[in-house]
Amino acid sequence: MSQKKVAFPRFGNYNLCIKYFVEQALNAEYILQPLLTQRTLEAGARYSPDSVCAPFKTCLGSLIDALEAGADTLIMPPGICRLGYYGELHEQILRDLGYEFDFINLSRYSTGKPKDYLKALKRIDPDLSAAHLARVGAETLKMLAHLDDTEAEYYKNCGFEVHHEDYHKTWSRFLAAMETAQSLHDIEQAYSWVKQAFSSIPISKPAFPLRVGVVGEYFTAVDGFSNHFLEQKIADMGVEVHRFMSVTNRNLRYHGKNLQIGIQDYCCYEMGPTSTANIWAAKHYASHGFDGIIHIKSADCTPEIDIMPVLQNISADYKIPVLYLSFDSQTSDTGLETRLEAFYDMIRIRKEGK
Ligand code: SF4
């Protein structure tokens, strides 16, 4: 049987983990699409319902890129918002466009039972065993945690580097090593290297730098292209940037119910896929002396619209400014930069006045 050519929508740097998993666990080739660009988004938007959220359009454009790069098997993630229904629509739109492919919609296998995920993955490799899946799955989660931790370190310090691009070059080298990793040994070696490399980059950082916490909708907060590389823009102004939202924090490290206890003064119910984590993170930044919070989401994202009044309450109680930003396929870089510069000036002047 010929090797399947598998792809997944582009989502931040996580495709490197999916590549590792597909190649090491499923005996298949992984098709890594080109990085997301405006062209990808426009291709997705052209065939999408107009009012749907931007992640739908970006994922559709990215699946088209994958099919054109030779993929014959597409995997669509599950989701607990509208994302859970998007796979059905994506599949129908792509078939109407004339593409031929096998479509593994993980929403159809999300029963909470591992054996159902195994069933889904056996469509790619019928010989896959539960033991092999567990071993490579654990290695993949290690890679994922290392990527998230390294990226967090990057945005905390890259705005203070003495030599332009030191951080960026090191980060890119680390990503390249993760892209070609073929074993846990390769993953751990790359991680040890990047930790050492980051710690030897000269930085000039004040004792009390400006600190901004970024919260927001999962896809838009995590995927740099979808938020116009907002974290880099803020960091480049000489700001320490923190973002709680990541797959490691949201799905692996923190327990939703425990986060809920920490925010019960503000909200008693789960309001959406990332609401509890975002409210918790915003309260954490506010109560730990951060200078500002930026809330980002796709236009039309109902779950994140719902948490905005809660963020306003946190802002009033802790006297911390919150900048609210919505992104869609029409968002302009210039408009975003103007708002970020104004926000930066405001938090800088406030800090100088303290
Ligand atoms: S959380 Fe919001 S933007 Fe993200 S997929 Fe769900 S509805 Fe769309």
Residues 237 and 189 in one domain: no
Q: Is 48 touching ligand 1 by the criterion CB < 6 Å?
A: no
Look at residues 329, 353, 327 and name the one whose alpha carbon lies nearest to residue 340: 327
Does residue 202 carry a pLDDT above 70? yes
Residue 186 Cα to ligand 1 midpoint, Å, equals 34
Choose the residue to mutate in 57, 219, 227 for probing ligand 1, maximizing ligand atoms within 8 Å of C-beta. Answer: 219
Name the residue type at position 146. H
Q: Do 304 and 216 sit in the same domain of this protein?
A: yes
**212 and 188 belong to one structural domain:** no
pLDDT of residue 280: 95
Mean pLDDT of 161-183: 98
The pLDDT, as a whole number, for residue 54 is 92
Given a cut of 80, is residue 286 above it in pLDDT? yes
Q: Are 10 and 77 in contact (CB under 8 A)?
A: no
DSSP for 155-213, written as a single string: HHHGGGBSSTTHHHHHHHHHHHHHHH--SHHHHHHHHHHHHHHHHTS-B---SS-EEEE
Position with higher pLDDT, 240 vs 83: 240
**Is 143 in the same domain as 117?**
no
Q: Residue 55's pLDDT band (boundaries 50, 70, 90)? A: very high
Q: What is the CATH number of the domain that holds 47?
A: 3.40.50
Q: Give me the amino acid identity at 58.
A: T
CA angle 7-145-130, nearest 5°?
60
* Structure token pair of residue 212: 């901004």
My answer on whether 191 and 236 are in the same domain is: no
The count of domains in the chain is 3
User: Which ligand 1 atom is the nearest neighbour of the CA of 83?
Assistant: 5
Q: Which of 100, 128, 156 is the last residue of a domain?
A: 128
* Ligand 1 site-directed mutation target among 52, 57, 83, 245, most atoms within 8 Å of CB: 83
Structure tokens at 307: 């948490």
Is the CB of 301 within 6 Å of ligand 1?
yes
Whether residue 142 sits in one domain with residue 242: no
The C-alpha atoms of residue 151 and residue 15 are separated, in whole angstroms, by: 15
CB distance 123 to ligand 1 below 6 Å: no
Which of residues 147, 182, 205 is at a domain's end? 205
Same domain assignment for residues 316 and 200 = no
Q: Does one domain contain both 122 and 22?
A: yes
Between CA 54 and CA 216 the distance in angstroms is 14
Residue identified by tokens 């880099």 is 232
Q: What is the whole-number distance in angstroms between the Cα of residue 55 and the centre of ligand 1?
A: 7
Distance 7 CA to ligand 1 centre (A): 21
Distance 303 CA to ligand 1 centre (A): 7
| Ligand 1 binding pocket mutation candidate from 53, 57, 300 (most atoms within 8 A of CB) | 53
- Chain position carrying tokens 């990793």: 181
Residue type, 265: D
Instruction: Give the integer Cα–Cα distance in Å for 84 and 103.
Output: 14
53 lines ligand 1 (CB under 6 A): yes
pLDDT exceeds 70 at position 1: no
Last residue of a domain, one of 177, 205, 233: 205
Beta bridge partners of 242: 213
Mean pLDDT of 247-266: 88
**In Å, how far are 188, 227, 282 from 62, measured between CA atoms?**
29, 16, 31
Report pLDDT digits (tens) over 58-114.
Answer: 999 999 999 999 999 999 998 878 888 899 999 999 999 999 999 999 999 988 788
Question: Candidates 107, 250, 301: which one to mutate for ligand 1, based on the most atoms within 8 Å of Cβ?
Answer: 301
Domain CATH code at residue 219: 3.40.50.11900
Mean per-residue pLDDT over the chain, rounded: 94
Angle between helices 130-157 and 114-121 in degrees, nearest 10: 90
Kindly state if the Cβ of 59 falls inside 6 Å of ligand 1.
no
Q: How confident is the model at residue 9 (pLDDT cuts 50, 70, 90)?
A: very high
Stretch 16-44: mean pLDDT:
95
Same domain, 120 and 9: yes
Residue nearest to atom 5 of ligand 1 (CA): 83
Q: How far is the CA of 142 from the centre of ligand 1 (A)?
A: 26
Ligand 1 proximity of 64 Cβ (cutoff 6 Å): no
Find out whether 191 and 146 touch, Cβ atoms under 8 Å: yes
Together in a domain, 169 and 212: no
pLDDT score for 271: 83
pLDDT tens, 119-156? 999 999 999 999 999 999 999 999 999 999 999 999 99
Atom index in ligand 1 nearest the CA of residue 273 equals: 1
**Residue bearing the CA closest to ligand 1, atom 6:** 81
300 lines ligand 1 (CB under 6 A): no
Q: 41 with 117, same domain?
A: yes
| DSSP per-residue letters across 86-116 | HHHHHHHHHHHTT---EEEEGGGG-SS-HHH
Residue 31 sits in the same domain as residue 111: yes
Measured in angstroms, how far is the CA atom of residue 82 from the centroid of ligand 1? 6
Q: Are the beta carbons of 273 and 53 closer than 8 angstroms?
A: no
Please report which helix (H) or strand (E) contains residue 260, including its range.
helix 256-262
Q: Which domain holds residue 21?
A: 5-128
Task: Report the residue count for the chain.
Answer: 354
